Structure 1
């Protein structure tokens, strides 16, 4: 039986929770971490599952605005730190799966190289 190149549902849930996938799935991991939509997937995996937990604040007696404010006091910093730690998360996920962590910022390096090339062409250095 050939090895799978994509994770099963159980493997995918384990991956989301921090488990390492088999080496045969490293292409899938690379695509998940640095491919198109990687940042969106990362943010959704962190920010959506916490909403039901925050909704427990709605069970606390008191005015609705106060319950919503308590939820916001937890959710807004979560959003901030989740966005701020995206790069760290990507590098960690790549290292954990034995993939070159320099790939985490390859898109940034490509963009900077294109900007430098454009600059040098405009100013006669090319």
Structure 2
């Protein structure tokens, strides 16, 4: 029996909740954390499941704006810190799966290298 390279539904739910996947799925984890849409997936996994919890504030007696404002007082800082800690989260997940945490910003470093090479060619330093 060969090792699977993608997680099944229970493994994926566990991964979303913070569990580590088997080494055979490292390529999938790498694509998930550094590939196209990685930031969008991260934000959706954190922010969307909490919407029903935030909706519970609408059950507080009083005007609807009061429940919405209480939910906003919690949800807006959550959004801010979730975005601010995206890079840290991705590096930690890569490290926990036995991958190099420097891969979290490999795309940005490659783009900077292309810009640097173009700059050096334009200004005669290459």
TM bucket normalised to smaller: over 0.9
Please state how far the C-alpha of 1:123 moved relative to its aligned partner: 2.5
Q: What's the counterpart of residue 27 of structure 2?
A: 27
Q: Under a length normalisation based on structure 1, what TM-score does the superposition of the two structures give?
A: 0.95
User: Alpha-carbon deviation of 1:113?
Assistant: 1.1
Aligned residue in 2 for 1:37: 37
TM-score normalised per structure 2: 0.95
Q: Which position in structure 1 is the counterpart of 2:67?
A: 67
Secondary structure at the counterpart of residue 32 of structure 1: helix
Q: How does 1:1-126 map to 2 (within 5 A)?
A: 1-126=1-126
**Alpha-carbon separation, structure 1, partners of 2:47 and 2:61:** 25
Cα deviation for residue 43 of structure 1 reads: 0.4
1:47 deviates by: 0.5
Aligned pair count reads: 126
Stretches of structure 1 lacking an aligned partner (at least 5 in a row): none
Q: Cα RMSD (Å) of the superposition?
A: 1.0
Following superposition, the deviation at residue 120 of structure 1 comes to 2.0
Give the gaps of 5 or more residues in structure 2. none
TM superposition shift of 1:64: 1.2
1:125 deviates by 2.2
Deviation sequence 1:20-54 (CA, Å, 0-9, x none): 10000111100100011111100000000000000
